[in-house]
Amino acid sequence: MTTAITVPTELKSELLAIAKECGYPSALQVLQRGEPDQLVLEDLREAQEITNIARVQVLDALLKYPYWDDTEASHLPEHEEKFQDVQMGIYEKTIHYISNHFEVDPRA
């Protein structure tokens, strides 16, 4: 069953750019479907694949900005800001829109 999910065009554009840059052929094929403000997903596997792009981005941010946590003595405000940009941006948005339609694993 095909599910069309309305998303911000900026989110789909960012996911598509990452899929192109990283060479994710299956995700690229999925993200090229539909309108600029739609994710058109055939099944849970495709939903999880797109979710995984966001998961990889937040894991990458954890490695790039390890001093993001303000409860740690090593906290750096610039790390916190950059990490939160990813966490509250592509990650939270992707999980939000897709999980309204599919039971994906959001753990990062």
CB 98 within 8 A of CB 5: yes
What confidence score (pLDDT) does residue 106 get?
87
- In order, the DSSP letters of 43-97 are SHHHHHHHHHHHHHHHHHHHHH-TT--TTSTT--HHHHHHHHHHIIIIIHHHHHH
Quick: pLDDT tens for 19-34. Answer: 999 999 999 999 999 9
Residues of the chain with pLDDT under 70: 108
pLDDT at 25: 98
Give the pLDDT confidence score for residue 107 in this predicted structure.
84
* Distances 104 to 46, 53, 76, 90 between C-alpha atoms, Å: 10, 12, 32, 15
